[in-house]
Amino acid sequence: MYDDGQQVMVGDIVRRGGEEGEILKVEPNGLGGQENALIQWSGIHEIAPGIRGRKAPVQDLTKGLRLVRRKL
């Protein structure tokens, strides 16, 4: 559940700090027994000199995420 009480759904675009990401999977009883989500953050990092790529998806708590928009 997001901080504002809305249900987390696959495909949601979320924000934490200054970074946006997309929810790929929701784990109701993830790490520490809390709701977690697999998130593909939009950040780009340098893989090698001159080669850039997206960061790998990460599992994180849904608490602290803010819903930006929901795919219909």
Chain centroid to CA 28: 14
**Beta strands 66-69 and 13-16: pairing type?**
antiparallel
Segments making up each domain of the chain, as ranges = 13-69
What does the pLDDT read at residue 5? 83
What does the pLDDT read at residue 13? 95
Phi, psi (rounded to 5 degrees) for 57: -60, 145
Query: pLDDT tens for residues 27-47?
Result: 887 666 789 999 999 888 788
CA–CA gap between residue 31 and residue 60 (Å, rounded): 8
Phi, psi (rounded to 5 degrees) for 35: -70, 130
Residues of the chain with pLDDT under 70: 30-32, 72
**Is residue 9 a contact partner of residue 65, using CB atoms and an 8 Å limit?**
no
| Identity at 59, one-letter amino acid code | Q
What does the pLDDT read at residue 54? 82
What does the pLDDT read at residue 68? 92
